[in-house]
Amino acid sequence: MTPTFARAPRVRIEWLVISITLVVAIAIPFYLEKVSLYWLHVLIIAYFYAILASSWSLLAGVAGQFSFGHMAFMAIGGYTSGLLGKYFGLPPLLGIPAGTLVAGLTGLAIGVLCLRFKASYLALFTIAFSEILRILIRGEYGITRGDQGLHLEMLFGATTSKLPYYFTMLALLVFSLLFMYWLVNSRVGLFLRAIREDEEAASARGVDVVRYKLMAFVITSMIAGLAGGFFAHYIGILTPNTFVLPQMGLVIAMAIIGGVESLVAAAIGGIIIQVSLEVLRDFDAWRLVIFGALLVITLRFARNGLIAPLLERLFGLGPRAEKRKKESDSHGV
Amino acid sequence: MQYFLSLCATGLVMGVIYALMALGLTLIFSILKVVNFAHGEFYMLGGYASYFLLSTFTGLHPLLAVFISGLIVGAIGLVFELIFLRPIHKGQIERPSEYAVLVTVGLSLFLMNLSLAIAGPIPRRPASFLAGTVQLGTVNISAERLIAGVCSLILLGLLLLIINKTWIGKALRAVSQDKDAASIVGINPLAINTIAFAVGAGLAAIAGALLAPIFSVTPDIGATPSIRSYIIIVLGGMGSIPGSILGAILIGLVESLGTGYFPDPTRALNYKMVYGLVIFAIVLLFRPRGLFGRKET
């Protein structure tokens, strides 16, 4: 009986932290709206990057597949909705799902092509796809407006308040995290982790390796496309520069520095890095030098990221807590 | 016909330069089993090194600057390999293949932004080797490109000679085939890894320095040539040296002809890279081990 007593307060701490975070996240825009619209905007963008970083970490950290096309799928979501709106008058509410679908279908095509092979082919193909798509969107300015930017209808029409955008982006973040959390803790998540650890062993135990890799790739591409569609209809303008490769590198840095094996840690990494990029604005180009260096150093010396270990300690998850639990179990007996 | 021949000449010359860069990537991949995602940044650093050498030491011969740039960037590659890649081969890293991808991506992000912070976004153009065009038979070709191509050709020949005829080349080939067997016969695989990475980085830098007078250098210039090199090594067969040379020349020709015969000349350059992506997809569909690749397990 001892273990249940020992664990009870930990559960309470967990819920306390989550509910405080949610209350703060819901209350803070009302305060920021009066003080600084700029920082409200920064938070919305930070949530956007949190969605991208956490969905990338589902693909890379859980399934062990590396895609450099995450920002490209984001852009596909945005551009599909923008172009459908411009040429066919489709409203954003229909354009965003269409963009999500196109991102998913593109992911399916690339996945079918690359996921039969070792992980490096997906990385190589997506990096080429992403950059070439950018060159094409930039070059075909007759259709996409190129560097001048594609103007999009705002999601909430004429309202100048940022509050609806804030809450939509927050909801998008929370729901995508909940969905991915459910996925990772389901059978599918177990299969994906097995594939990450050893493809051949997983395959020998009857896991349809290609199918589950494909599933993870398509789902994360769709999440990127969805986030991109909404982002585009919030910013109101899309240029090919939104998905240059350094921007993809930044999303990777967010996920790794946060902790690539934990969705929540990656999301927090995204929020913290995006906000610190704004705080450190005076350092200009040196900011990204710092984060690039931090990425390499984190990888080498703190493989689980900088935030994931904190979360583990707080919530009592992870290997150390498992060990502690086992010890207390054996003491209990 | 005239037009076709001049396109082929340009394609061949560019192909030889691409081969230099792709060979560096192949060397790194076949020895370390790591795809270097910072290869484009070594190319970019080569261009900057040559620019800053030439603007600091006036009177330095441009071609000498190219080779010194290769040495400088090779040294950067060497230091990076020692600190971040050697631990992989000493078994100190969990899930090494993931680590290798991510750490080179991190290096690429770091180097790109470091050059942006130091040199700024303004394009820099080092002094040209030789202005004007050269007449080869009936075909005109820009002198700069021709010199860059000839230098690459000499260097490629030299490298093939080293790889095939010398002791160190034999050691490189031995490690690429079987690391454990190589270490039994007294080759230190760790040292070979470091040499291969440094040489690979240096080759990318030399390619960058050779092309810098033609295309100018900006911090983000590495993306296109590195992507082209990835396509080339997949086409040639990952890890195959003859494959990467032949693949590079093929890509050079396809790009040159494809751009030259594109129906709408104003948009032709946008599609230059698309051919490579299409070739990449075709290789994955029909011959995943590439032209000369060893069969994948």
User: A211 near A116, Cβ under 8 Å?
Assistant: no
- pLDDT tens across B242-294, in order? 888 999 999 999 988 888 888 877 777 778 888 888 888 888 888 878 787 76
What are B136's strand-pairing partners? B139
CA distance B239 to chain A (A): 13
Note whether B191 contacts A: Cβ–Cβ < 8 A.
no
**Three-state DSSP class for A213?**
helix
Q: Which residues contact A112 (CB under 8 A, 6 or more apart)?
A: A214
φ and ψ at residue A151, rounded to 5 degrees: -85, 140
**Three-state DSSP class for B134?**
strand
CA distance B139 to chain A (A): 30
Q: Cβ of B99 and A138 within 8 Å?
A: no
Per-residue DSSP letter, A46: H
- Residues on chain A touching B227 (C-beta within 8 angstroms): 127-128, 131-132
Q: Which residues contact B242 (CB under 8 A, 6 or more apart)?
A: B236, B292
| Predicted local distance difference test score (pLDDT) of residue A204 | 80
User: B276 near B228, Cβ under 8 Å?
Assistant: yes
- Residues on chain A touching B90 (C-beta within 8 angstroms): none
Candidates B97, B227, B283, B289, partner chain A, best to mutate (most A CBs within 10 A): B227
Distances in Å between the alpha carbon of A327 and those of A5, A309, A322, B246?
A: 14, 20, 9, 61
Is the pLDDT at A3 greater than 60? The verdict is no
Report the first-to-last Cα separation within chain B, whole angstroms.
45
Q: Cβ of A285 and B116 within 8 Å?
A: yes
CA distance B132 to chain A (A): 29
DSSP assignment of B214-234: HH-B-TTTTHHHHHHHHHHHH
CA distance A19 to chain B (A): 34
Query: Between residues 57 and 76 of chain A, which touch chain B (CB distance below 8 Å)?
Result: 60, 64, 66, 68
- Closest by CA to B48, choosing from B117, B94, B101, is B117
| Predicted local distance difference test score (pLDDT) of residue A317 | 57
Query: Between residues 153 and 192 of chain A, which touch chain B (CB distance below 8 Å)?
Result: none
d(CA A176, CA A292): 27
pLDDT per residue rounded down to tens, chain B (297 residues)? 778 888 888 888 889 999 999 999 999 998 888 889 999 999 999 999 999 888 888 888 888 888 999 999 999 999 999 988 888 888 778 778 888 888 999 999 999 989 988 888 888 888 777 767 777 777 777 888 888 888 899 999 999 999 888 888 888 888 888 888 888 888 888 888 899 999 999 999 999 998 888 888 888 888 889 999 999 998 888 888 888 899 999 999 998 888 888 887 777 777 888 888 888 888 888 887 878 776 553
Is the pLDDT at A286 greater than 90? The verdict is no
Of A64, A117, A125, the CB nearest to B280: A125
pLDDT band for A329, please (50, 70, 90 cuts): low
**Three-state DSSP class for A145?**
coil
| Predicted local distance difference test score (pLDDT) of residue B157 | 92
Between CA A262 and CA A267, with CA A266 as vertex, the angle to 5 degrees is 120
Between CA A75 and CA A79, with CA A78 as vertex, the angle to 5 degrees is 80
Query: Between residues 208 and 247 of chain A, which touch chain B (CB distance below 8 Å)?
Result: 244-246
Q: Cβ of A289 and B107 within 8 Å?
A: no
Q: How many CA atoms does the CB half-sphere of B256 hold within 13 Å?
A: 22
Q: Quick one: what percent of chain A has pLDDT higher than 70?
A: 91
d(CA B125, CA B259): 24
Of A117, A139, A246, the CB nearest to B112: A246
Q: Which residues contact A34 (CB under 8 A, 6 or more apart)?
A: none
Q: In the predicted model, what is the mean pLDDT of residues A268-279?
A: 88
> To which residue do tokens 């976004």 refer?
B121
What is the ipTM for the molecules in this complex? Answer: 0.87
> To which residue do tokens 């160190």 refer?
B168
Q: Cβ of A288 and B109 within 8 Å?
A: yes
- pLDDT tens across B181-198, in order? 888 888 888 888 899 999
Is the pLDDT at A313 greater than 90? The verdict is no
d(CA B277, CA A44): 35
Q: Which residues contact B19 (CB under 8 A, 6 or more apart)?
A: B152, B156, B232, B244, B245, B248, B249
Distances in Å between the alpha carbon of A269 and those of A181, A287, B69?
A: 17, 15, 37
Is the pLDDT at A327 greater than 80? The verdict is no
Cα nearest neighbour of B230 on chain A: A124
* Tokens at B75, concatenated: 């040294």
Query: Between residues 63 and 122 of chain B, which touch chain A (CB distance below 8 Å)?
Result: 83-84, 87, 93-95, 97-99, 101-103, 105-114, 116-117
φ and ψ at residue A159, rounded to 5 degrees: -60, 140
- Residues on chain B touching A289 (C-beta within 8 angstroms): 110, 113-114, 117
Q: Cβ of B227 and A127 within 8 Å?
A: yes
- Distant-in-sequence contacts of B26-29, Cβ < 8 A, 24+ apart: B26/B233, B26/B236, B26/B238, B26/B239, B26/B240, B26/B241, B26/B243, B26/B244, B27/B172, B27/B196, B27/B199, B27/B200, B27/B203, B27/B241, B28/B196, B28/B197, B28/B200, B29/B233, B29/B238, B29/B239
- For chains A and B, count residue pairs whose Cβ atoms are closer than 8 Å: 135
**Three-state DSSP class for B133?**
strand
Is the pLDDT at A325 greater than 70? The verdict is no
Q: Cβ of B269 and A139 within 8 Å?
A: yes
| Predicted local distance difference test score (pLDDT) of residue A328 | 54
- pLDDT tens across A225-273, in order? 999 999 999 988 888 888 788 889 889 999 988 888 888 888 888 899 9
* Tokens at B32, concatenated: 């370390």
User: A101 near A264, Cβ under 8 Å?
Assistant: no
Note whether A329 contacts B: Cβ–Cβ < 8 A.
no
Q: Quick one: what percent of chain A has pLDDT higher than 90?
A: 23
pLDDT band for A333, please (50, 70, 90 cuts): very low
* Tokens at A93, concatenated: 């509410």
Per-residue DSSP letter, B141: E
Q: Cβ of A300 and B84 within 8 Å?
A: yes
Report the first-to-last Cα separation within chain A, whole angstroms.
9
Cα nearest neighbour of B117 on chain A: A285
Distances in Å between the alpha carbon of B207 and those of A8, A102, A124, A233, B19?
A: 63, 38, 21, 42, 9
User: A213 near A52, Cβ under 8 Å?
Assistant: no
| Predicted local distance difference test score (pLDDT) of residue B79 | 94
Candidates A299, A301, A304, partner chain B, best to mutate (most B CBs within 10 A): A299
User: B102 near A299, Cβ under 8 Å?
Assistant: yes
Candidates B95, B98, B226, B279, partner chain A, best to mutate (most A CBs within 10 A): B98
Distances in Å between the alpha carbon of A113 and those of A116, A129, B251?
A: 7, 12, 21
